Structure 1
Amino acid sequence: MSHACIPVGSQGQTPEVPRSVFITGASGFIGQALVRRYRALGAQVRGMDLRADPANDVVAGDLTRPEVWAAHARGCELFINTAAVVSLAASWTLYREVSVRGVRNCLDVAIASGAKRFVQFSSIAALGWNYPDQADEHCDVVIGDDYRYGVAKGASEHVVLAAHAAGEIECTIVRPGDVYGPGSRAWLSEPLKMAKAGALILPNGGSGRWTPVYIDDLLDGVMLAAGLPQARGQIFHISAKESVSCQEFFCNHWRWAKRSGSPRSLPLWLAVSLSRGIWRINRLLKRQDEVTPDIMYMFARTGGISIEKARRLLGYEPKVSLNEGLQRSEQWLRDVGQLV
């Protein structure tokens, strides 16, 4: 077994490496990275995603029909659920089906498979967008009609913590910051496309807080959380040391797109009104589009998040600076032809 990829906490914490891991959403950006990292450690890794990938032992399925893929998870020691509705524009019905019932389905499969630990991927979106600086795991989760993705993530946490409290299976929840790095569609490829079209708009002069975490740092945090006994029954924020402004992060995409100056800006109230109008039109026309009020709220977040709990209990310490992470990301964009 290779030990090169085992993260060691700052106080010497070394997570147990499972013999076998099952990952939902195994073909996604984070899922693929987890598959590679656990395989490098010698673990047997299987997974599920919307499309099968036999070369990587990934079967086709979704969270709403566990009977299709449950047998593939049999015997796994660690079950990691990264699958989710990756959208800020979905219906409440879909969020309930996937983020609540679907997560309960995953728990049932993990328990029937004999898994020792269940790791749920939530998000800092569960905190909403209007929270204090250095928000920690004690902060409220968001409820209400807006910010559907965050409300759904908060609901998924409830399902998982209830299973843990009932003694059904040991569970851990991770809330990643804004994960980026080679392979990131959400925070590299899509904003770059928007920048090239001149359509990247940041509310309030780009003053909203962004919490970038490089993919390799996220993997370290997840593996510590998944393999240490002190992480049982806990929620952890896994992010970078500090937040930056949206302007500071996305001006890189603007520059990569060979545009001068900075991304365009509107007051938040106007950006929300315009995006709400576009969202309604797209729904009438049955067009898939991520221009929603929620993306504008996300770009207007009021605070950074605290990783002190992950530091204290797990010894988690992010290693890749924003500057280095962006350099690696830019190189990847060039390598895959998205930049020339």
Structure 2
Amino acid sequence: MNIVPNTLQTVVIAGASGFIGTHLVRRFTEAGVEVRTIGRSGPAVWGDTAAIASVLDGADALVNLAGRSVDCRYGKRNADAIFSSRVDTTEELGRALALCRESGGTPPPVWMNSSTGTIYRHAMDRPQTEDDGDLGTGFSVSVARAWEQALADAATPGVRKVALRIAIVLGPGSVMAPLSTLARTGLGGRMGPGTQKFSWIHLDDLYRAVVLIAATPTLEGPVNLAAPGVVTNAELMAAVRERLHVPAGLPTPAWLLELGGMIIRTEAELVLKSRWVSPRKLLDAGFTFDYPTLGPALRQILTPDRVEAPAPVRAH
């Protein structure tokens, strides 16, 4: 059942054309919530701060998902685009929220800005919570830090700000498309050592978490959006093979992943980094996951005789 609080009547979604944004727009619309969007087209486009401020006026929540896909090589051009598409849009939303108030409007009381669970270090020893997680190093972490700093620096008094540290999002398409292809072609074994942790969240639980955060005034700052049932990469690939009725899969060593990443223009870090993200704030707030473990999630997402359509990989 698609239920949202009565207080959530209008939601503004920036970056609504992506994998997550499309799903949120559909779910909110089905629940009878008015959805306004900010993007590269429509009444409120990036660069038109006044139009964005007008769209924000009177809304109950702002969700910013804008950001270029990270499914690429991190050369200078791509790295600059990844960085600016996150930081610049966040900074503009801060200016638009301030303008909305200065113009006599009513900005939304809560601003949820996308971030990423990749902000934490390569963790093999313990889960990373919002309170005791260790931030990592490297390009992806630098982007995430700047992304969250832009949110923190925005002068928006009266607006509760939440950084959504999102794990890998699972749904039809998404990362399931290449993993399914690998499994079906016999290459669905462990990747690299296979012991690296894989934190994830089902697309439907992400939507429900956004609804909960909007309705919970005590939730602010970083909030981890990840299912409690973290698995290793080897366990992930075994679960995919089991769901697709593929008996075995050849493993892929790390050096071959690095080489393959160069060939298909992506980064091996996307599968080799150990992401162990714990949703402590959500659980403490009483959130109940519909998909806390991987098996039921894959049963909902994957049909053995269906080929999943690909979707862009997001920075989560």
TM-score range, shorter chain: 0.7 to 0.9
Q: Which residue of 1 aligns with 2:120?
A: 127
TM-score normalised per structure 1: 0.75
| Higher relative helix content | 1
The amino acid across from 2:169 in the alignment is V
Fraction of identical pairs, as percent: 18
Asked whether the equivalents of residues 209 and 245 of structure 1 are also in contact (C-alpha less than 8 Å), the reply is yes
Paired letter, 1:96:
F
2:68 to 85, 94, 101: 85
Query: 315, 321, 325: which one pairs with 2:286?
Result: 315
CA contact (8 A) 1:118 1:171 kept: yes
In 1: Cα distance, 2:265 partner to 2:244 partner:
20
Count the aligned residue pairs.
297
RMSD between superposed Cα atoms in Å: 3.2
For 1:294, the aligned partner's letter is: E
Give CA deviations for 1:188-246 in whole Å, capped at 9, x if unaligned: 113223444556674334221112221111211111112211113x2111221221111
Q: Tell me how far apart the structure 2 counterparts of residues 201 and 102 of structure 1 sit (CA, whole Å).
A: 39
Q: Which amino acid letter does the alignment assign opposite residue 120 of structure 2?
A: L
For 1:100 and 1:337, locate their aligned partners in 2 and report how far apart those are by CA, in whole Å. Answer: 30
Give the whole-Å Cα distance in 1 for the aligned partners of 2:124 and 2:97: 34
Q: Specify the code of the residue in structure 1 equivalent to 2:266.
A: V
Which of 172, 181, 187 does residue 193 from structure 1 map onto? 181
Specify the alignment match of 2:146 in structure 1: 155
2:90 maps to 103
Q: Closer, same or farther in 2 for the Cα pair 1:153/1:213, shift >3 Å?
A: same
1:265 deviates by 2.5
Please, which of 3, 6, 24 is the counterpart of residue 6 of structure 1? 3
Alignment CA distance shift 1:255-1:131 (3 Å): closer
Residue 141 of structure 1, CA deviation:
2.2
Distance 1:259 1:206 in 2: 18
Distance (Å, rounded) in 2 between the aligned partners of 1:188 and 1:228: 31
How far apart, CA to CA, are the structure 2 residues paired with 1:170 and 1:198? 48
Instruction: State whether structure 2 residue 289 is matched by structure 1 residue 295.
Output: no
Whole-Å Cα distance in 1 between the matches of residues 259 and 60 of structure 2?
Answer: 48
For 2:152 and 2:121, locate their aligned partners in 1 and report how far apart those are by CA, in whole Å: 19
Contact 1:221 1:316 in 2 (8 A): yes
Q: Which runs of 5+ in 2 are unaligned?
A: 101-106, 311-316
TM-score, with normalisation over the residues of structure 2? 0.80
Q: Distance in 2 between matches of 1:69 and 1:189?
A: 37
Verify the 8 A CA contact 2:198 2:230 in the aligned structure 1: yes
Task: Name the structure 2 match of 1:328.
Answer: 300
Say whether the 8 Å CA contact 2:13–2:37 is kept in structure 1.
yes
